[in-house]
Amino acid sequence: MKWFTESQLVAKIVEVGRMKLDLHKLDVKIFQFCTEHNTLYLLEVQLMPGTENEKADYISHLIDF
């Protein structure tokens, strides 16, 4: 499974975690999802600048949470 992100911080958090509680909780959720779906060792985070990811950037703005 490959996770494309334009954020260097997101890539680093997923790879090594963070000491801040909210970011640590996010990292734990990612870990839990991967273990539940047997993809833990298949998760690869790839940094992709926004200019190379225009379609995903456009789609991400269509959904309003």
Per-residue pLDDT tens digits for 3-60: 888 788 878 877 777 778 887 888 788 888 888 888 767 778 888 876 777 776 776 6
DSSP 1-48: -EEEES-HHHHHHHHH--SSHHHHHHHHHHHHHHHHTT-GGG-EEEE-
How far apart CA 57 and CA 7 sit, in angstroms, is 12
Q: What angle do CA 49, 1, 59 make, to 5 degrees?
A: 45
Domain positions in the chain: 2-60
pTM of model > 0.85 = no
Q: Which amino acid is at 53?
A: N
